[in-house]
Structure 1
Amino acid sequence: MSHEYTYMNLDPKTIIVINTLGSLFMSIGCFVASYGQLGRLIYVRMWAYGTLVQCLGWIVQGVLRGIIPDIISISFGNALILASIVFYYNILRLFFHQEAYIRTSILFILSEVIVLVLFVSSHYDQKFRVSILSMYASIPLLLSVWEVIKNAKDENFSLYFFAFFCAVAGLFLSFRVYYYFVEDVDPRAITFGPSKIQDFTYLIFYITSIMLTFSFALVCIDRFVKEQVKSEEKYRLLAENSSDLIWLYDLNQDSFRYISPSVQQMYGLSVKKAMRKKLKDMLELKESESFFKLLEERLILFKSNPDSKRYYQDEIQIMHANSEKKWIELISSFQGSTESGIQILGVAREIEKRKQTELENQKYLEDLKTINSTKDRFLSIIAHDLKAPIGGIHTYINMVLEDIHEQSLEKTKEELSLLKDTSSELLSLLNNLLTWARSQKGDIPFDPEHISLFSAANRCIQLLTSSAENKDIEITNQIPIKTVIYADEQMLDTILRNLINNAIKYSHPGNKVIISSEDLDDSLVIHVEDFGMGMNHGTISRLFQLENKQASAPGTRGERGTGLGLVLCKEFILRHQGSISVQSEREIGSRFSVTFPKGN
């Protein structure tokens, strides 16, 4: 019993319109997808262009059939459809990182155009034209299947799904080649007439045109996901093997989302323990307060413009699990949004050694500035302060030599006395200058011992007796005879000599200078007191500073000074871990107090 085939009565024009609209919407869909995350794969947008070309082919070949000349409709419409299929094949080659056959593809499409133009212009049976069209279209489809078989060893199942529809379309077109060449085909079945082959053609074209795009989209999604997984794995390995600490903190949840294993080295914490901590717990307390103030300001800025990428660099201190403070460099940025949640991505690097080097360099720079200032002051003393007394000596010598035969002996003795005073000033200055220079080079040994303070004061008084007598100044040593001090003898002599000399210089003729001591529980205080010019607070604040030349004012008889003696005193006192202080009032006098810690 035979069954007569019932045609599906598919209207060819309707099928053409459906294919046209289907191609158009699929092209639009691919374009839209290419602007999203899939846009990282260029193949999606390329496929959109190919589908758009196919849409144009259906319009020219079907929608405009009968409106435009057949030679254009048939030749160029089918050529555009073939171009889209060839384009798909080349996209597939690029997908497998192979070179596209651009020149070959163009020649292949042009050859079809030429063949179709010849067939349309001639009186050949139309079934041969259909066979030729089917043959041309089947070649890139079957080659696509071969490319998948050859290259899809590591790829996902979606590629074989794509290859299946390429094979269905390619094999069906190959069957059409055979069918139209061998079978005696009803002329109505060649173009748009009702027939079995045409019904199957419409269905196959419609299904494959949709499924090829759909399956290729799956292929691209699989590739994208696979690359994402590889990328995440790569960055995970980088993070877990990096000496830098990488972390992600969720501000909404107020908790860490991720911390790299290097937290063990930087904080002495396991990842599990660190994940349970808050961000503020990972910073030293003082640093935490200032850092979170900055964080609030930066967060406001980020919320006002979430699309802007800003990276912040901070140097902050952290607390190790063993209570040791460490310096780290933190680079951070905000990501996310108010709706989805804002996170902080941070990369921290330990910079303890670098920070120590910076602090050392800063200290070296400060020392260098001090040395440079000292050098300038040293040159200033040599150029100016030594010049004055030497010039004075030279003047007095000339005066004596010029008048030695004419003036009286008393006058000559007076001038020689002035010469002696000036030379004493010069000698004192040179002694201080040389001692200070040696101290700067570290050439002065420090050998403290128990010595008699009374005897040390007497030695200095004897050395300065001449200067005191010239101004009729009485120096009184009120230090108890049995007082013992633990100090370096040479340095102690320098300290006492300079303080007593200063007291003489700034005392009015006929005044007194008193040297006394005060025995405390853990220290011994030496007082050198005069009743001369005194100083105001501004002058006191500039004492003991080499760069402040103004700190040394002329004495009551115009004696010059550099202030170097007091600077030297302070350096030597500090070597003993002692201190020096001053009490003074204008025209009442000054009292210098030097405190020495008691030795063993």
Structure 2
Amino acid sequence: MTITPDALLKAIVENNNIGVWAAEREGNKIQPVLYTPAIKFITGFSSQSFLSNPKLWINIIHPDDSEEVISKIRKFYNDDERINTQLEYRIINNLGAIVWLENKISVVRNQWGEVQRVFGLVSDISHLKSYEEQLKQSADKLRKLNEMKDRFISIISHDLRTPFNSILGFVDMMLEEDTLSREDQVTYLKFIRESSSSMYNLVNSLLDWTRLQTGRINFEPETINANAYVRKSIEMMTGVALQKNLEIINQLPPDVFVYADENLLLQVLNNIISNAVKFSKPGGKIFISSRNLIDERLVEFSIKDSGVGIKNENISKLFEVDKKLSTLGTQGEKGSGLGLSLCSEIVTKHGGKIWAESHLDIGTTIYFTIPTASEQILLVDDVNTDRILYSKLLKSIIPDHEVIEAQNGADALEIIRHISPALVISDHKMPTMSGLEMVKTLQASDFKFKPPVIILSSYLDEESKQQYKQLGIEYVFGKPVNVSIFKKAIDKSIEQSVRI
């Protein structure tokens, strides 16, 4: 069988994810005459929709990009020496999601330089833009780490030298002065012990900070009741609080489930409550409370003291290791100045944020957020028997999670918008909206939380697998699936979801 050039061209056009469009001059206007089927895959609108409504393409350009894009196209058409250009901009697809496009445009001009025909190639570059943003964030993070490394060395050279100087000074005095009284010896030994304790705390804080920075600290998040760890932290701080006649009040509801590493969460609570005790005036109260931020899938914790407060210009220094803000407590208590910096690193590692509000002589409130423990997994499949089978499988391998179901990608997106599941497990080939279209729409959406996605399907070719990989989908499985490997992928994806 002989393949003609026209047949080959048609096959390429109809089976490629790059949309082709063309327009011709009709009087004083340039009118569209062709849009290939791939246009619908990219924009969600059919070829006929664009042909019947020439303004549709302009109408779907993102409002923030519209003026600039139209201006560039007009300048290109009016420049009689140019025959091609390339634009990158955003559109709003038929589902209301944002899609990044690359539009390569070429024109044919007459002898006077007027545009007679226009040809364009349109492709979805949303995944490339996502990679660019990730690379930018990585570069920024590396730059900050390098800067922090230099400041870290500066901290070590200064702050470790200070207690050493004190220790060596008092030791020399004790060795050289034979006539020291017992009282003076005890006093000097107390100074030495205080300096040693300060140095020990500083070294521990620095080691914890470096382990967090380099990823060498154990991070094993799981569903835990934060109230239990608040109570445990209060118990640990009770002795110190009693010495200052302070009351620590736990206002959390009985059950506050979060997805966190229990040891690291306890360290955050200990550091913040310890600071509250340190800076509270004798006889004061410390309040610990929480509230659910449902849309963000976070729990916001607050620890409020009735202490001396912090100057506005110093608040920004609280959580930065290189600023190392350290002041004496209300009864002369000392600290390393790194406690809240460690808290910031731990909270960030969990996917949360930490900040402070303070008023001099009134007190300080430290806020931080930790992801809620979503116990729902969304299973998306158009085949009822497969949904039943894999729903039972999921309940057997992850019994602590509730399995909810959807029949196609469009229904899944509505569920994700409203309940923010911890994980989505989706089929590939489905009516109304495929798994691939769902992933693209989800990534381009303005949803506050975008859960990780695992693809599980009987209908997967190599091209589809590659497209999912380009979109950043790490796990793509065929049916039937190896249960052991499937379970590991689910566990890792749920852990990853707290840092999305």
Question: Given the two structures, how large is their TM-score scaled by the length of structure 1?
Answer: 0.48
| Deviation of the 1:290 alpha carbon | 2.4
Instruction: State the partner residue of 1:546.
Output: 321
Aligned-partner residue type, residue 535 of structure 1: I
Instruction: State the partner residue of 1:258.
Output: 34
Whole-angstrom CA distance in 1 between matches of 2:289 and 2:46: 60
Question: SS of 1:399's equivalent?
Answer: helix
Aligned-partner residue type, residue 584 of structure 1: S
Instruction: State the partner residue of 1:387.
Output: 161
Whole-angstrom CA distance in 1 between matches of 2:90 and 2:252: 54
Counterpart mapping for 1:112-511 below 5 A: 238=9, 241-242=12-13, 243=16, 244-250=18-24, 252-253=28-29, 255-260=31-36, 262-263=38-39, 265-267=41-43, 271-278=47-54, 280-281=56-57, 284-286=60-62, 290-300=65-75, 302-303=77-78, 305-306=79-80, 308-309=81-82, 311-318=84-91, 325-336=98-109, 344-403=118-177, 405-440=178-213, 441=215, 442-446=217-221, 448-449=224-225, 450-451=227-228, 453-462=230-239, 474-479=244-249, 490-503=263-276
Segment drifting more, 519-528 vs 386-395? 519-528
Whole-angstrom CA distance in 2 between matches of 1:485 and 1:415: 50
| Deviation of the 1:552 alpha carbon | 0.6
Question: SS of 1:478's equivalent?
Answer: strand
Aligned-partner residue type, residue 54 of structure 2: K
Specify whether residues 559 and 377 from structure 1 end up closer, same or farther in structure 2 by C-alpha distance, changes over 3 A only: farther
Residues 552, 561 of structure 1: 8 Å contact kept: no
Quote the RMSD (CA, aligned, Å): 4.4
**Deviations 1:287-320, CA, capped at 9 Å, x for gaps:** 6x624544335525653x52x1253221223455
Residues 328, 350 of structure 1: 8 Å contact kept: yes
| Deviation of the 1:250 alpha carbon | 4.5
Instruction: State the partner residue of 2:288.
Output: 517
Question: SS of 1:542's equivalent?
Answer: coil
Aligned-partner residue type, residue 539 of structure 1: N
Whole-angstrom CA distance in 2 between matches of 1:377 and 1:333: 53
| Deviation of the 1:452 alpha carbon | 6.3
Question: SS of 2:344's equivalent?
Answer: helix
Aligned-partner residue type, residue 476 of structure 1: L
Segment drifting more, 488-497 vs 418-427? 488-497
**Deviations 1:59-96, CA, capped at 9 Å, x for gaps:** xxxxxxxxxxxxxxxxxxxxxxxxxxxxxxxxxxxxxx
Aligned-partner residue type, residue 276 of structure 1: S
Instruction: State the partner residue of 1:118.
Output: none
Whose helix fraction is larger, Structure 1's or Structure 2's? 1
Question: SS of 1:396's equivalent?
Answer: helix
Whole-angstrom CA distance in 2 between matches of 1:505 and 1:352: 50
**Deviations 1:369-391, CA, capped at 9 Å, x for gaps:** 34334433433333332232233
Residues 354, 366 of structure 2: 8 Å contact kept: yes
Aligned-partner residue type, residue 477 of structure 1: E
Residues 454, 477 of structure 1: 8 Å contact kept: no
**Deviations 1:516-571, CA, capped at 9 Å, x for gaps:** 33476887855352533x32222113322334x1x514437998766421122234
Aligned-partner residue type, residue 65 of structure 2: S
Whole-angstrom CA distance in 1 between matches of 2:352 and 2:76: 54
Residues 89, 102 of structure 2: 8 Å contact kept: yes
Question: SS of 1:479's equivalent?
Answer: strand
- Equivalent pairs: percent with the same residue? 22
Residue 341 (structure 2) aligned to one of 567, 570, 579: 567
Segment drifting more, 570-579 vs 273-282? 570-579
Counterpart mapping for 1:2-151 below 5 A: none
Residues 247, 283 of structure 2: 8 Å contact kept: no
Whole-angstrom CA distance in 1 between matches of 2:362 and 2:184: 34
Aligned-partner residue type, residue 314 of structure 1: L
Specify whether residues 580 and 299 from structure 1 end up closer, same or farther in structure 2 by C-alpha distance, changes over 3 A only: closer
Segment drifting more, 294-303 vs 311-320? 294-303
Higher relative contact order (CA 8 A, sep 6+): 2
Whose strand fraction is larger, Structure 1's or Structure 2's? 2
Question: SS of 1:566's equivalent?
Answer: helix
Aligned-partner residue type, residue 392 of structure 1: S
Residues 76, 85 of structure 2: 8 Å contact kept: no
| Deviation of the 1:399 alpha carbon | 2.6
Instruction: State the partner residue of 1:592.
Output: 365
Structure 2 gaps, min length 5: 294-298, 376-500
Whole-angstrom CA distance in 2 between matches of 1:581 and 1:321: 39
Residues 300, 368 of structure 2: 8 Å contact kept: yes
**Deviations 1:104-134, CA, capped at 9 Å, x for gaps:** xxxxxxxxxxxxxxxxxxxxxxxxxxxxxxx
Question: SS of 1:593's equivalent?
Answer: strand
Question: SS of 2:142's equivalent?
Answer: helix
| Deviation of the 1:400 alpha carbon | 2.9
Aligned-partner residue type, residue 478 of structure 1: I
**Deviations 1:334-360, CA, capped at 9 Å, x for gaps:** 554799666543222333443333233
Residues 318, 327 of structure 1: 8 Å contact kept: yes
Question: SS of 2:101's equivalent?
Answer: strand
Aligned-partner residue type, residue 541 of structure 1: S
Residues 107, 117 of structure 2: 8 Å contact kept: yes
Aligned-partner residue type, residue 566 of structure 1: L
Specify whether residues 394 and 542 from structure 1 end up closer, same or farther in structure 2 by C-alpha distance, changes over 3 A only: same
Specify whether residues 357 and 591 from structure 1 end up closer, same or farther in structure 2 by C-alpha distance, changes over 3 A only: closer
Residues 526, 593 of structure 1: 8 Å contact kept: yes
Whole-angstrom CA distance in 2 between matches of 1:496 and 1:270: 55
| Deviation of the 1:265 alpha carbon | 4.7
**Deviations 1:484-534, CA, capped at 9 Å, x for gaps:** 675765335423443355456667xx85664333476887855352533x3
| Deviation of the 1:591 alpha carbon | 1.6
Whole-angstrom CA distance in 1 between matches of 2:266 and 2:75: 66
**Deviations 1:579-598, CA, capped at 9 Å, x for gaps:** 65433334x25323346779
Specify whether residues 267 and 294 from structure 1 end up closer, same or farther in structure 2 by C-alpha distance, changes over 3 A only: closer
Give 1 or 2 for the bigger CA radius of gyration: 1
Question: SS of 1:386's equivalent?
Answer: helix
